[in-house]
Structure 1
Amino acid sequence: MATAAFDPGGLTARLTLEAPLESPDGQGGANRTWSAVASLWARIEPVTALAGEEAGGGRVTITHAIWMRHRGDVSSGMRLVKGGRVFVVETAHDPDESGRYLLCRCREEGR
């Protein structure tokens, strides 16, 4: 299998990887908070922007491909944060199975 043609100098975005923490809310549900796991360098590539309607209002869903150095602790449900921007990890995989990079498909929240 060919290795991913990727310039590591393109990892210019500083992101914080966060994992969800859930605690009981006393009423049978849970409160979700976020805990920082790591600070890392990544490359953010916009992929799609889809306009839709939700509850009578407009909503845009933006997806991104986020590249980073390989980590074994990234999974769907985690999120990456850059300033006020939040990217929810939907999938994470090694694109060429070389153990060098990790490609996360993410959905940006709040846009």
Structure 2
Amino acid sequence: MGLKRGQIGELNRRITLRKRQDVPVGAFGMSASYSGEVPLWAKVEIMASGKPQDGQQLDDVATHRFWVRYRTDVTVDHEIVYQGKTHRVMRVTDWEDRRRFTIVEAKELHG
């Protein structure tokens, strides 16, 4: 089943895109540092299943799909903050290779 065609008017949820970088602290610790926070309008979809598909590890299951206006700067080094919850970017796709929408699949982080 393919994705439905996105419409600009559907980008009606506010998200924040930020780049995460882990910085060493002390001998064995790490601390997260964030840069380039960008507020964006997005269409937010909860993925149909939180269960892994054949051959997927539990850590590899995306929980949310975010549609944003076309961007080339989103990578797996980014996180999305939506409704106070942080989501780790897992996959980034140019929808139908049209340079109209970027689809970001992400996993909600707990704790």
Q: TM-score by structure 1 length?
A: 0.76
Identity %: 26
- Confirm or deny that 1:11 pairs with 2:11: yes
**Paired positions, count:** 99
Q: Which amino acid aligns with 1:50?
A: K
Structure with more of its chain in strand, by fraction: 1
- Checking the alignment, whether the CA contact within 8 Å between 2:62 and 2:105 is kept in structure 1 is no
For the pair shown, the structure with the greater C-alpha radius of gyration is 1
Q: Which amino acid aligns with 1:17?
A: L
- Residue matched to 1:30: 30
- Checking the alignment, whether the CA contact within 8 Å between 2:21 and 2:77 is kept in structure 1 is no
- Residue matched to 1:54: none
SS at match of 2:97: coil
Structure 1: unaligned runs, 5 residues or longer: 52-60
RMSD: 2.3
SS at match of 2:50: strand
- Checking the alignment, whether the CA contact within 8 Å between 1:79 and 1:89 is kept in structure 2 is yes
Deviations 1:49-77 (A, max 9, x none): 239xxxxxxxxx76111100011110013
CA shift in 2, pair 1:62/1:22, >3 Å? closer
- Counterpart-to-counterpart distance in 1, 2:23 and 2:87: 22
Q: TM-score by structure 2 length?
A: 0.76
- Counterpart-to-counterpart distance in 1, 2:109 and 2:24: 24
Q: Which amino acid aligns with 2:23?
A: S
Structure 2: unaligned runs, 5 residues or longer: 53-60
- Counterpart-to-counterpart distance in 1, 2:37 and 2:70: 15
SS at match of 1:92: strand
